[in-house]
Amino acid sequence: MQPPVASRRPTSLDAHDETRVDEYFWLRNRDDPEVLAYLEAENAYTEAQMAHTAPLQETLYREFLSRIKETDLSVPVKRDEWFYYSRTEQGRQYPLFCRKHGSVDAAEEIVLDINLLAEGHDYFDIGSATVSPDHSMLVYGEDTDGSERYRLRVKALASGELLDVDITNTAANVEWCNDNRTFYYTVLDETRRPYRVYRHRLGQGVPDELVFEEPDEAFFVHLGHSKDRRQLYISLGSNVTSEEYFLAADDPEAQPVLFQAREHGVEYSIEHRAGEFWVLSNRDAVDFRLFRVPVQHYQETSAWQEYVPHREKPSSKTSSYFGIFSRFICATKGC
User: Could you read off the pLDDT of 78-108 as tens digits, one per residue?
Assistant: 999 999 999 999 889 999 999 999 999 999 9
Residues of the chain under the 70 pLDDT cut = 313-335
> How many CB atoms sit inside 10 A of residue 287's CB?
16
Q: Quick one: pLDDT at residue 313?
A: 67
Q: Is 192 left (phi over 0), alpha (psi -120 to 50) or beta?
A: left
Q: Quick one: pLDDT at residue 131?
A: 96
The Cα 59–Cα 76 span in angstroms is 35
The Cα 49–Cα 177 span in angstroms is 55
Taking the mean position of all CA atoms in its chain, how far away is CA 234? 13
The Cα 288–Cα 280 span in angstroms is 7
Q: Quick one: pLDDT at residue 242?
A: 97
Q: Quick one: pLDDT at residue 327?
A: 44
pLDDT in tens, 34-62: 999 999 999 999 999 999 999 999 999 99
Sort strands 137-143 and 231-237 into parallel, antiparallel or unpaired.
Answer: unpaired
The Cα 12–Cα 23 span in angstroms is 9
Strand order in the sheet with 268-273: 268-273, 276-281, 289-294, 305-308
Strand partners, 213: 196
Q: Quick one: pLDDT at residue 318?
A: 46
Q: Quick one: pLDDT at residue 58?
A: 96
- Domains of the chain, residue spans: 11-65, 267-335
